[in-house]
Structure 1
Amino acid sequence: MNPPTSPPTLRLEDVGFRYEDGPAVIDDLTLTVVPGRALALLGPNGSGKTTLLRLLTGGLRPVGGQITLDGVPVRHDRKGLTALRRTVQLVVQDPDDQLFSASVGQDVSFGPLNLGLSDDEVRTRVAEALDALEITALRDRPTHLLSFGQRKRVAIAGAVAMRPAVLVLDEPTAGLDPAGQEALLATLAALQAAGTTVVMATHDVDLALRWADDAAVLADGRLHTGPADELLGDTGLLTAARLRPTWAHAAAAVLRVHGVLAGGAPIPRTPEELVGYAVKSVGR
């Protein structure tokens, strides 16, 4: 897959949004999507996560503030939104809201065809996207005969076929079994290695800590941002956001009490890293 070149910086600046005749969902929030870094967005139901993702990708227009791409304000007209969606793609939580073609190949080709690309270029992009999501064998399969996990992958492949610099995912692991989650995370790692910046909304603090470089937590109407390992270790913030503490920070506290983990050492983010510390402790 050809990686995007010079990934752009996507930024919300003092953005506000309210639905018609309703209270403010988001008010004066600022968020920077840093190129090349994985960003996890967390918060309780109703906190505005999905609204924030739709603002980032042009699906909603802010009532205050502005959205910029590489410092240039995004215009919410046909031309401006088309330019934004060439760069930034959203995959919604329920794949059935995104899949509408008869077959997998047709669905993945829909976006590139609408860019006016040549047939050869469309075929190349579809083949690359199917390969990246490991669903090449499903190319001719009717979409209504796919499993839930397969439909999730097809929805992501449709976005990947657009070759976005920024891929935005709303709860991509929801409804997947553990093997499906692991396969998806491996796919996202490959996309990131190829140059795609990934933003993921999730309720899973352990997954966010394991996967993300940076985190953004919506709590009490405010957006808190920072490195994932630091921000997700703030138990007060997680409580305010109705999120449970991560197992990794709890395990790190025990390791420090027993002198296995030095104060400034990184915490174990995966079970494998935790086992490594345990083995080291036994060998002492």
Structure 2
Amino acid sequence: MSEPLVALRAASYAYEEGPEVLSGLDFDVAEGRALALLGRNGSGKTTLMRLLSGGLRPREGELTLGGVPVTYDRKGLTRLRTTVQLVVQDPDDQLFAASVGQDVSFGPLNLGLPDAEVRARVAESLAALDIAALADRPTHLLSYGQRKRTAIAGAVAMRPRVLILDEPTAGLDPDGQERLLATLGRLRDAGTTVVMATHDVDLALRWADDAALLTPSGVRTGPAGVTLADRDLLVRAGLNLPWGVAVAELLRARGLLAETDERPRTPEELAAFTARAGEGSSAA
């Protein structure tokens, strides 16, 4: 197997005067895979994301980038943060500049890039997030969804190989969620590895290639369809069975879906499946 792009090895972390949040954790981010990170509140998702992005340093163990241990001096952190970018859940914790364009330009400017390169990155990122028309808009006049997109654009402007998003669909209406997921799909197609922390098991099943479930005994990572169908693992992670898995179990119990058939993951896919099944029975 190829070396993971980013990995934690035997990593442990505890906050000041608090219990250990993570202990002896091994965790890989494979390049080119969409990864959903799930677990109950307090399971350590946010801590794990901050360890991966260099915002926190393991008390024990190490973080590696392309198999090479990360150093926490200026050079090492610059190398890490040009490869891995974290977007926090609340965009207001990340936005601070007067306008959208100024905010998105902050990271590239801090890299010391030429002005022409900064302008190119800002334009590219705004276009990728479908907010080019907002470049001159004051950040305090943005809607919540626009602020979310602006925060993500600021991370994309760093051209990271790994983009980590903490609950990116939280607080968005259904249309806003769909538009954001379409944007993330385009970023994935362009080569960005996306890690998404979410409580939404249905979203994870629909969107992710792999799922990582944090439980009191550690983390389990595997193909999303298999991992999110493991009832015992879901219970230990404090999560419900995804809608798509429950529907597939019912269809299989009634002989309507073969074990080798792909399960419907959304109501739209279920409607398409039932339409095909109805056509098949009519033809028979």
State the TM-score bracket (shorter-chain normalisation): over 0.9
Of residues 196-205 and 239-248 in structure 1, the stretch that sits farther from structure 2 once superposed is 239-248
Partner of 1:84: 80
Q: Are residues 1:187 and 2:188 paired?
A: no
Which of these residues, 209, 218, 231, is aligned with residue 222 of structure 1?
218
Deviation at 1:235, TM superposition (A): 1.5
CA distance in structure 2 between the aligned counterparts of 1:205 and 1:125, rounded to whole angstroms: 34
Partner of 1:155: 151
Partner of 1:12: 8
CA distance in structure 1 between the aligned counterparts of 2:259 and 2:67, rounded to whole angstroms: 39
Partner of 2:21: 25
CA distance in structure 2 between the aligned counterparts of 1:176 and 1:221, rounded to whole angstroms: 32
Instruction: Give the TM-score normalised by structure 2.
Output: 0.96
Q: Alignment partner of 2:262: what SS?
A: coil
Q: Deviations over 1:138-177 (max 9, x none)?
A: 1011001111110000000000000000000011011001
Which of these residues, 239, 245, 249, is aligned with residue 243 of structure 1?
239
Q: Deviations over 1:176-206 (max 9, x none)?
A: 0110000000000000000000000000000
Q: What letter is aligned with 1:142?
A: P
With a CA cutoff of 8 Å and minimum separation of 6, indicate the structure with the bigger relative contact order. Answer: 1
Q: Deviations over 1:62-84 (max 9, x none)?
A: 01111111100011111111110
Alignment of 1:95-244 (within 5 A): 95-244=91-240
CA distance in structure 1 between the aligned counterparts of 2:59 and 2:134, rounded to whole angstroms: 42
Q: Alignment partner of 2:245: what SS?
A: helix
Native 8 Å contact 1:170 1:202 kept in 2: yes
Q: What letter is aligned with 1:252?
A: A
Native 8 Å contact 1:7 1:165 kept in 2: no
Structure 1: any 5+ residue segments left out of the alignment? 1-5
Q: What letter is aligned with 2:268?
A: E
Native 8 Å contact 1:99 1:107 kept in 2: yes
CA distance in structure 2 between the aligned counterparts of 1:79 and 1:171, rounded to whole angstroms: 30
Query: How many residues are matched?
Result: 279
Which of these residues, 36, 44, 50, is aligned with residue 54 of structure 1?
50
Q: Deviations over 1:206-233 (max 9, x none)?
A: 0000000000001124101110000000
CA distance in structure 1 between the aligned counterparts of 2:29 and 2:194, rounded to whole angstroms: 9
Native 8 Å contact 2:3 2:67 kept in 1: no
Deviation at 1:7, TM superposition (A): 11
Q: Deviations over 1:89-120 (max 9, x none)?
A: 00000000000000000000000001111111
Deviation at 1:271, TM superposition (A): 2.3
Native 8 Å contact 2:49 2:164 kept in 1: yes
CA distance in structure 2 between the aligned counterparts of 1:27 and 1:81, rounded to whole angstroms: 23
Q: What letter is aligned with 2:102?
A: Q
Instruction: Give the TM-score normalised by structure 1.
Output: 0.96
Partner of 2:264: 268
Q: What letter is aligned with 2:55?
A: G
Deviation at 1:8, TM superposition (A): 6.5
Partner of 1:3: none
% identical equivalent positions: 67
CA distance in structure 1 between the aligned counterparts of 2:169 and 2:91, rounded to whole angstroms: 11
Native 8 Å contact 2:4 2:67 kept in 1: no
Of residues 195-204 and 258-267 in structure 1, the stretch that sits farther from structure 2 once superposed is 258-267
Deviation at 1:272, TM superposition (A): 2.4
**Runs of 4+ that moved beyond 4 A:** none
CA distance in structure 2 between the aligned counterparts of 1:7 and 1:212, rounded to whole angstroms: 20
C-alpha change, 1:123 and 1:8, in structure 2 (3 Å) is: farther
CA distance in structure 2 between the aligned counterparts of 1:180 and 1:149, rounded to whole angstroms: 7
Q: Alignment partner of 2:82: what SS?
A: helix
Which of these residues, 38, 41, 46, is aligned with residue 42 of structure 1?
38
CA distance in structure 1 between the aligned counterparts of 2:135 and 2:217, rounded to whole angstroms: 43
Q: What letter is aligned with 2:231?
A: T
CA distance in structure 2 between the aligned counterparts of 1:228 and 1:38, rounded to whole angstroms: 10
Partner of 2:65: 69
Q: Alignment partner of 2:256: what SS?
A: coil
